[in-house]
Structure 1
Amino acid sequence: MGLPDTSPVPKKDSMGMDYIPVYADEQGDDVGTVRVSPARLQSLGVRTAAVEYRTLDAALRAVGRIELDERRIHDVSPRFEGWIERLHVNATGDPVRRGQALFTVYSPELASARQELAIAERLASTAAADPVAQQGAQRLADAARARLRNWQAGGASGNSVVFSAPADGIVLEKAAVEGMRFTPGMPVYRIADLSSVWVLADVYEQDLARIAPGQPARVGIDAYPGRHFDARITYIYPTLNAATRTTPVRLELSNTDGLLRPGMFAHVELLTGGDAARLTVPDSAIIDDGQRRIVLIAEGEGRFRPQVVETGLRSRDHVEILSGLDGDERVVVSANFLIDAESNLQAALASFGEGDPEQGPARYETRGAFEDYFDDTGSVMLMHEAIPDLHWPSMTMEFGLADPALVEGLAPGTPIRFAFEDRGNGEFVVTDIVPEAADGHRHEGH
């Protein structure tokens, strides 16, 4: 970061680097416009592209995982006490069909209820019986039928009950073994239908405004590189994880071929661009200096005009332009940074931020340390703290010096407080230096 210097003839700097030639026909002929010779444009490989309207495939990327569809999970739990006599499906992971026999059970309670029903039905059907006894037998039969119906064993016969699969799917969990005793409500089998699965993706808080139910999405799985699965957002959860600042978003995926397994890691792209055409430029056209975003508009004959723009959505290759362009321009998409280096672009950009000339150059104050003074150039090497207003980190650099008397008596390493001015074109001149003691207080003896 040395001081600006010019030479009427080619030369090298103190580090052995060639000075950059600047020709008269490359100077900006209009305010805010820079010009580069045709020969230089060809050597730099400058390319331009039209500003145009297009539909953006802007994608919000998130990580997720494959989960079971909670609406397709079924537990098989007997409502009475008993013992498992026989297993018809005896392995976790086995596929089952709706109505397929899972296991057969025996229950003393079930046998007793069926005997009560049989006796009550015989008494109720006896013609010689007392009418009051017949009514009592009928009530007993109705109570026995209701009990069997509540146990979901109303249509069974004998002392055993066969339990069947409530839906197509696979056996996720199996607690049953032959001869095992079970209690009411104990889950013996858990069956899940995997023909449709969920993807739960974590979306950061600042991106929630960009998504809505119904938006399309693409899901990539590490097990199938290069393949994408189409999905849609079906639900945005109403809670936020305070630790990660993310909200779960649910997508549904068809899984009829069984490729997707719960627990798989998923890469999710939420397509938030929509179908509307937007004014765009290639993403390589944007120069971002940390404070603003700029494009170089090609005006023909080697002339380029920097234009500050406001950007919106981004796709893989294009950026939405919210303001700054009309749509009929051409912008530089290749070698725009080289044009910056080969021309007086910084001077052209200065026209966007010029203040009142009567206020004079910008002035900054900071702390640091004196390092060295150069008699031949009248400059000084200083170490300074970070300067937020200029986005400078703490570093050692060379400054111009307004008066050599400012550094008289200073030894290398002396802590100082100093002020400098930005006089444009990269020229920073120190105008005031005050030595400080090691504890940061002003030195009274200087």
Structure 2
Amino acid sequence: MNRSAVLLVLAALILGLASGHWLAGFREGSEPSTPAEKKVLYYRHPMNPSVTSPVPAKDEMGMDYVPVYEDQVPEAGQAERHPSAEAPKERRILYYRNPMGLPDTSPVPKKDSMGMDYIPVYADEETPGEANIVKISPDKIQKLGVRTAEAEQRDLVRTVRAVGLVEPDERLFHAVTLKFDGYIEKLHVNATGQSVEKGQPLFELYSPDLVSAQNDYLIAKNSRSALKNAAPHTQAEMESLVQSSLERLRYWGISETEIRQLERQGSVRRNLIIRSPASGVVMEKMAVAGMRAMAGGTLFKIADLSSVWIIAEVFEQELALISSGQAVRVRLDAYPGRTFDGKVTFVYPTLNPETRTARVRVELPNREGLLKPMMYAHVELTGISRPALAIPQSSVLEGGKRTQVLVNRGEGRFEPRVVRLGVRGDEWVEVLEGLKAGESVVVSANFLIDAESNLKSALESFGASEPPPGDHADHGGM
């Protein structure tokens, strides 16, 4: 090869090397780096940019998380970053709370009785103890008509209401019977419901035994007079005979009035008058003129209605509120607008298994005679009165196995709180656990707030299936 040809080959080689070096420099300065050379900051959810992961992952539909590179984040001084482009922050979980809003928390992940995951509560979301708080705007509070009342110490009074019937006082009931056989000759009281006074004649009776007893008494009495000058022991024997004859008449129920009249007359009376043993009203009359009256048979039943009973039926769950001596107010259908005052005198020891009620005896004075047996009565018994921490009945939300109230935490925040209740009064109810004196509870529109609280818990329980940012355990690696 000649010298000129060698020079041409060397020149071509030098030119090619220079061109390659220049193209390599141009390509390095102008073309972007390949994705493999970029620095990945984190990976974001393909459908929800707010959900991120520091490692490659897949969503619930199997789609890959989208990588976010370092050169996609604006530098300082540029426009505000979009939330999807922000670097992930490590979120600290405070605890896990019940998905249905129950006051139950756990320091570790767990499931409730229905298999639902407990919801994580992060430090940047809410403060400890406020996981279940419902936040409502002031204008919505005004539209709902929310009213509150404080839990306070007060005397609880509960009125027990029952129904009953007016009955005669059993202690003022009298039965007229005979201790010997006889025949009713004439009736002086011949109608049921007739009022009688003590000592008033009821009927006239003929009895051979009674005639014989009168005759024995008069003979003994006359013999004593005839032997007044006899020996002392003889007079003593006759006096004993007189007294025994007299006692026989008394044992048979002959009144002192009839005995004195027999002594004055000095002769046997064929018919003897039987008188009323007490004042009252004839409740039953079995005596009929001309009938034979047998010893032991009841001829009249007389009740003194100056004081009556009301036998009220009280439900089993209210018996603990009833005791002897309690004041009672009674209303009767026969006297609208009028009340009668009485008191409890006895609580019967047995229970009706069919109605689950117990009988309570109420005693009332009846000097005017307005209260009549078998009248229908409405009874109000003033129950227990004792100091207790109490809240209005309207603030209580009953739901299944739990009882709760809505506590006003201020600034439109309301906390559902489970409470344990005690005795219920007419308008207030005792709080045994769950509240302190001075805490404010919602007494109106609480059902609407509670519904919103349940809705919030339900929505959060559905959202609990989404993995929180930075949670490595919930993402599958690639």
- Normalising by the smaller structure, the TM-score range is 0.5 to 0.7
SS of 1:258 mapped into structure 2:
coil
Matched letter for residue 395 of structure 2: A
How much is the aligned-residue C-alpha RMSD, in angstroms?
3.1
Shift of 1:40: 0.8
- 1:260 aligned partner: 371
List aligned pairs for 1:9-408, cutoff 5 A: 30-127=130-227, 137-153=238-254, 154-157=259-262, 158-159=268-269, 160-274=271-385, 276-341=386-451, 343-344=452-453, 347=456
How far does the alpha carbon of each residue in 1:342-399 deviate from its partner, in whole angstroms, 9 at most, with x for none?
x34555xx6xxxxxxxxxxxxxxxxxxxxxxxxxxxxxxxxxxxxxxxxxxxxxxxxx
Please state which structure has a larger fraction of its residues in helix: 2
Between the aligned residues of both structures, percent identity stands at 46
C-alpha deviation, 1:96, in angstroms: 1.7
Q: 1:81 offset after TM fit, Å?
A: 2.4
Q: Which moved more, 1:79-88 or 1:32-41?
A: 79-88
User: Which residue number corresponds to residue 14 of structure 1?
Assistant: none
Change (3 A) 1:332 1:122: same
> Cα offset for 1:335?
0.9
1:139–1:70 CA distance, 2 compared to 1 (3 A) = same
The one-letter amino acid of 1:147's match is R
Q: Please tell me whether the aligned partners of residues 416 and 450 of structure 2 are also in contact (alpha carbons under 8 angstroms).
A: no
User: Does the residue aligned with 2:423 lie in a helix, a strand or coil?
Assistant: strand
Shift of 1:36: 0.8
Q: For residues 129-149 of structure 1, what are the alpha-carbon distances to aligned partners after superposition, in whole Å with 9 as ceiling and x for unaligned?
A: 975876665444333212112
Residue 41 of structure 1: CA displacement? 1.1
CA contact (8 A) 1:273 1:313 kept: no
Structure 2 distance, partners of 1:288, 1:169, is: 54
Amino acid at match of 2:209: E
1:191-242 C-alpha deviation (Å, 9 max, x unpaired) = 1011222222334444444433223333343434554433332222233344
Q: What is the Cα deviation at residue 66 of structure 1?
A: 2.3
After superposition, what is the alpha-carbon deviation per residue over 1:22-47, rounded to whole angstroms, capped at 9, x for unaligned?
A: xxxxx988433221111111111112
CA distance change for structure 1 residues 428 and 119 in 2, over 3 Å: closer, same or farther?
farther
Cα contact 1:123–1:129 (8 A) shared by 2:
no
Contact 2:406 2:450 in 1 (8 A): no
1:430-445 → structure 2 map (5 Å cutoff): none
Q: Distance in 2 between matches of 1:253 and 1:178?
A: 37
Query: Partner amino acid for 1:142?
Result: Q
Q: When the two structures are aligned, how many residues end up with a matched partner? A: 328
Cα distance in 2 for residues equivalent to 1:255 and 1:28: 69
Q: Distance in 1 between matches of 2:199 and 2:228?
A: 43
Deviation at 1:427, TM superposition (A): 8.2
The residue number in structure 1 matching 2:89 is: none
| 2: CA distance, partners of 1:75 / 1:346 | 73
Deviations along 1:56-83, whole A, 9 cap, x unmatched?
A: 2213344432222110100112322223
Q: Partners of 1:260 and 1:113 in 2: how far apart?
A: 44
| Counterpart Cα distance in 1 of 2:313 and 2:241 | 58
Residues 77 and 184 in structure 1, CA contact (< 8 A), matched pair in contact too: yes
| Counterparts in 2 of 1:281 and 1:127: CA distance versus 1, 3 Å | closer
Q: Secondary structure, in 3 states, of the residue corresponding to 2:223?
A: helix
Cα offset for 1:113?
1.7
CA distance in 1, matches of 2:211, 2:273: 14
Change in Cα spacing, 1:125 to 1:228, as seen in structure 2 (3 Å) is closer
* Structure 1, gaps ≥5 residues long: 1-26, 351-421, 430-446
Q: What's the offset of the Cα at 1:128?
A: 9.3
**Cα deviation code 1:418-439 (max 9, x no counterpart):** xxxx99646899xxxxxxxxxx
- Structure 2 distance, partners of 1:427, 1:268, is 56
Gap change, CA 1:326 and 1:140, over 3 Å in 2: same
- After the TM superposition, which residues 400-439 of structure 1 pair with which residues of structure 2 at under 5 Å, given as runs? 425=461
Indicate the structure (1 or 2) with the bigger Cα radius of gyration.
2
Once the two structures are superposed, residues 269-293 of structure 1 have per-residue CA deviations (whole angstroms, 9 ceiling, x without a partner) of 433222x222222211111112222
Match of residue 405 from structure 1:
none
Cα 1:247–1:142 change in 2 (3 A) is same
Deviation at 1:263, TM superposition (A): 2.1
- Distance in 1 (CA, whole Å) between partners of 2:397 and 2:186 is 74
TM-score normalised over the length of structure 1: 0.65
